[in-house]
């Protein structure tokens, strides 16, 4: 038995613990003693205090009530309003997952209902929300985890051994290094590599979709520091492809370690990666990885809640905080070497309230080095306030509707699309806009479903609508799913005015380009961009360079497309603008000793770094790709 488990077991009455295992960094004790399982007299809490680890007590599998009988008890136990749907047993871990439409009603005040239920069934019940919108893809993800529960159990135990073998109370590391494998002075392929004597960790691992060559598109996996065979873990801030898109490839190359992220990030990343495979195949290109590699990623993902402290290697402990960027996005705090160095990586953040989310978190237990994004870090990157975007969007839709046209909005898969949905629904509900169909193409529907599965990640106002008033904006009848090529054709041929939301946001491929080809020549229609348009994308050519004609090549055939529709851009940004970034440095607590600026064009990174230095007298660096810094 590993030292830490031996010490914990010593704290329990003799003979009560029948078995113990790791589930990642969590320690699980099993008992055959019913009395002790029902009331451990605060001993588990004492152990948690003493070891600063998550420790859970479960009944020994031999003591669990027969699943058939337990299911009957569970169904009878909860009030009808709780809306219990699926009940899934994981017999090797003595866990039962109960899906409920209203988890609050099933859990009771401070978990009171679950406590009673535990006693009756001798299983550990977990209540999970049934997504308000059904999505086969979410069900698939959950099924993958369920089908492989035996593999998961062994995998999580292995992770625990990696963290705790050789565990001693005061582990000290001597140094910390950080190498930029991507995302240095650029937007796209974010990938940081953190090394200590004990750990090798990737922070994000994305793809630069705007790049033309593989050398520019993928992170520098060929850097001499990096060896995939030694990689301990990937920590993922959020699901955007420039942060997550390369992870399945790591599994294709044989990586079998964990990815740490929030639950929505796991689900959305899997969807976005699956979509990228689909798009590549539709365009007759060889996809970088296939569905099985994405499945491996899902199988190896360990989800964390915000503000949950979690060991990931012997000398690195991470905590995720709300980043305010997209659903499930996180700022990562890393406590390295038991307090030797505290590193904060913001990923992408928004430091203001958005339609969907609360502003990013800015208080940390400690922080010596902060890595800040600079997408809108340039001097002139000042965004209009949110209500102006609402107004502009409303006017754009009204004007297009009045002339009988269609509004095409290319959107990123996640974030913007749901922002726009909530904005339109609000306009319709307040009668500022007459109801009209809003089509969601392809995976946008699934990503919206994920938003309904994790409302606890949304801002207070949306949560209030969803929980208390049953006015879930995502369930409005104006939203229609477009699930096939045939249905897409129906939308194109639909006679009346409508709004079409489709990926990709930058017109780098996907359904938005298909709609554009069909809608572009009609001046009644409108094309409304909603996101950052990097150079090299079709979006940049149309909006920034004013292209009036596009040529699409299909082998030897050419398709010429005239741009006659109205073109505009409405910034519903999910990034902090220059003002917010400067304000973030002002507000962040404690004040970091050093700020690394990344995830922005060269001039923006340099300008933001120099302004932060001038105003705050903090050391700032804008690292280039392949730069290595010694943090400590
Ligand atoms: Zn992002």
410, 529 contact by CB (below 8 A): yes
> 357 alpha carbon to ligand 1 midpoint, in Å?
14
Ligand 1 centre and the CA of 228: distance in Å? 25
Report how far ligand 1's centroid is from the alpha carbon of 206 (Å): 10
Distance CA 355, CA 324 (A): 10
Cα(530) to centroid(ligand 1), Å? 14
CA of 355 to the centre of ligand 1 (A): 16
List, in order of start, the domains of the chain with CATH numbers. Answer: 4-61 (3.30.300.230), 64-130 (3.30.300.20), 171-379+575-630 (3.60.15.10), 386-569 (3.40.50.10890)
CA distance 139 to 131: 10
Q: What is the pLDDT of residue 353?
A: 83
Q: Ligand 1 centroid to 243 CA: how many Å?
A: 7
No. of helices (H) and no. of strands (E), the chain? 22, 28
CA of 391 from ligand 1 middle (Å) equals 25
User: What's the pLDDT at 173?
Assistant: 65
| 348 CA to centre of ligand 1 in angstroms | 5
In b/e form, how buried is each residue of 450-487, taking b as 16+ CB within 10 angstroms? Answer: bbbbbbebbbeebeebbeeeeebbbebebbbbbeeeee
Query: What residues flank ion ligand 1 with Cβ within 5 A?
Result: 240, 348
Q: How far is the CA of 437 from the centre of ligand 1 (A)?
A: 28
Paired tokens of 208: 């630069």
Burial state string for 179-206 with b = 16 or more CB within 10 A and e = fewer than 16: bbbbbbbbbbbbbbbbbbebbbbbbbbb
| Residue 76 token pair | 């009878």
Task: List, run by run, the mean pLDDT of 10-residue segments along the chain (632 residues).
Answer: 91 95 95 95 95 94 96 94 91 92 83 89 93 84 88 95 77 85 96 96 95 93 96 97 97 98 96 89 91 97 96 95 97 95 97 92 97 95 81 90 94 81 91 93 88 92 84 93 92 92 89 94 95 88 92 84 93 88 97 97 97 96 97 94
Residue 341 Cα, ligand 1 centroid: separation in angstroms? Answer: 26
Per-residue pLDDT tens digits for 546-602: 999 988 887 788 888 999 999 999 877 789 999 999 999 999 999 999 999 999 999
H or E segment and range at residue 485: helix 485-493
Going from the Cα of 238 to the center of ligand 1, the distance in angstroms, rounded, reads: 7
Q: Measured in angstroms, how far is the CA atom of residue 413 from the centroid of ligand 1? A: 11
pLDDT at residue 172, rounded to an integer: 62
Half-sphere exposure of 292 (CA within 13 A, CB side): 3
What are the phi and psi torsion angles at 548 (to 5°)?
A: -105, -10
- How would you label 355-376 residue by residue, b for 16+ Cβ within 10 Å and e otherwise? bbbbbbbbebeebbbbbbbbbb
**Looking at residue 108, what is its pLDDT?**
81
Long-range contacts of 15-22 (CB under 8 A, 24+ apart): 18/60, 19/60, 21/153, 21/157, 21/160, 22/156, 22/157, 22/159, 22/160, 22/161, 22/163, 22/164
Q: How far, in Å, is the centroid of ligand 1 from the Cα of 574?
A: 8
pLDDT at 152: 92
The pLDDT score that the predictor gives to residue 169 is 53
Instruction: In whole angstroms, give the CA distance from residue 429 to residue 437.
Output: 14
Look up the pTM and report it. 0.91
| Nearest by Cα to 573 from 421, 407, 358, 376 | 376
User: What is the distance in A from the centroid of ligand 1 to the CA of 251?
Assistant: 22
Per the document, the length of the chain is 632
Ligand 1: centre distance to CA 79 (Å): 41
Torsion of CA 162, 164, 169, 172, to 10 degrees: 0
pLDDT of residue 170: 52
Instruction: Tell how far the Cα of 218 is from the centroid of ligand 1, in angstroms.
Output: 16
Using alpha carbons only, give the angle 236, 238, 242 rounded to the nearest 5 degrees.
90
Q: What is the CA radius of gyration of the chain?
A: 25
Q: Which among 394, 205, 243, 325 is positioned nearest to 577, based on CA atoms?
A: 325
412 C-alpha to ligand 1 centroid (Å): 10
CB atoms within 10 A of CB 328: 29
Q: How many A from CA of 49 to the centre of ligand 1?
A: 37
């Amino acid at each position: 038995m590993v030292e830490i488990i031996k010490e914990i077991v010593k704290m329990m009455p003799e003979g009560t613990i029948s078995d113990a295992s790791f589930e990642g960094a969590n320690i699980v004790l099993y008992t055959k003693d019913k009395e002790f399982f029902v009331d451990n007299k605060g001993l588990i809490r004492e152990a948690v205090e003493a070891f600063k680890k998550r420790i859970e007590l479960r009944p020994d599998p031999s003591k669990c009530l027969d699943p058939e009988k337990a299911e009957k008890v569970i169904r009878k136990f909860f009030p009808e309003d709780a809306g219990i749907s699926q009940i899934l047993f994981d017999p090797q871990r003595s866990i039962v997952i109960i899906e409920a439409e209203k988890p609050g009603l099933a859990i009771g005040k401070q978990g009171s209902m679950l406590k009673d239920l535990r006693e009756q069934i001798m299983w550990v019940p977990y209540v999970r929300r049934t997504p308000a919108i059904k999505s086969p893809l979410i069900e698939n993800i959950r099924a993958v985890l369920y089908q492989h529960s035996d593999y998961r159990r062994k995998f999580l135990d292995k992770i625990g051994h990696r963290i705790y073998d050789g565990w001693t109370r005061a582990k000290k590391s001597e140094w910390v290094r950080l190498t930029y494998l991507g995302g240095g002075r650029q937007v796209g392929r974010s990938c940081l590599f953190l090394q200590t004597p004990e750990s090798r960790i990737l922070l994000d691992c994305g793809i630069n979709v705007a790049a033309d060559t593989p050398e520019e598109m993928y992170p520098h996996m060929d850097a001499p520091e990096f060896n995939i065979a030694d990689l301990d873990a990937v920590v993922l801030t959020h699901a955007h492809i420039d942060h997550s898109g390369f992870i399945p490839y790591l599994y294709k190359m044989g990586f079998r370690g964990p990815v740490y992220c929030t639950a929505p990030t796991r689900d959305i990343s899997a969807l976005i990666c699956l979509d990228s495979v689909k798009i590549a195949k539709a365009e007759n290109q060889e996809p970088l990885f296939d569905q099985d590699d994405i499945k491996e990623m899902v199988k190896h993902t360990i989800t964390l809640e915000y503000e949950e402290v979690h060991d990931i290697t012997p000398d690195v402990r991470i905590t995720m905080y709300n980043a305010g960027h997209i659903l499930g996005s996180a700022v990562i705090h890393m406590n390295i070497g038991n307090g030797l160095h505290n590193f904060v990586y913001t990923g992408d953040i928004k430091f203001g309230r958005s339609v969907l989310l609360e502003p990013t978190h800015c208080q940390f237990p400690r922080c010596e080095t902060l890595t800040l994004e600079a997408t809108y870090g340039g001097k002139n990157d000042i965004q209009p306030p949110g209500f102006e975007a609402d107004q502009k969007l409303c006017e754009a839709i009204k004007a297009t509707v009045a002339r009988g046209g269609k509004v095409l909005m290319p959107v990123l898969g996640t974030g913007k699309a749901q922002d726009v949905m909530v904005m339109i629904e609000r306009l319709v509900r307040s009668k500022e806009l007459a109801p009209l169909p809003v089509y969601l193409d392809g995976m946008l529907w699934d990503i919206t479903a994920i938003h309904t599965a994790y409302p606890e990640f949304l801002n207070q106002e949306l949560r209030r609508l969803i929980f208390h008033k049953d006015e879930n904006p995502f369930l409005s009848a104006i939203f229609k799913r477009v699930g096939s090529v045939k249905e897409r054709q129906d939308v194109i041929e639909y006679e009346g005015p409508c709004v079409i939301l489709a990926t990709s946001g930058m017109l780098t491929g996907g359904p938005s380009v298909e709609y554009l080809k069909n809608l572009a020549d009609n001046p009644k229609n409108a094309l409304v961009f909603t996101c950052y348009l990097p150079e090299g994308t079709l979006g940049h050519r149309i909006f920034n360079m004013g292209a009036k004609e596009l040529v699409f090549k299909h082998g030897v055939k050419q398709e010429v497309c005239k741009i006659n529709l109205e073109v505009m851009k409405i910034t519903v940004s999910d990034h902090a603008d220059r003002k917010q970034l400067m304000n973030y440095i002002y507000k962040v607590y404690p004040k970091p000793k050093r700020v690394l600026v990344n995830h922005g064009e060269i001039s923006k990174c340099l300008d933001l770094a120099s302004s932060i230095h001038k105003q705050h007298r903090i050391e700032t660096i804008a690292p280039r790709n392949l730069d290595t810094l010694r943090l400590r």
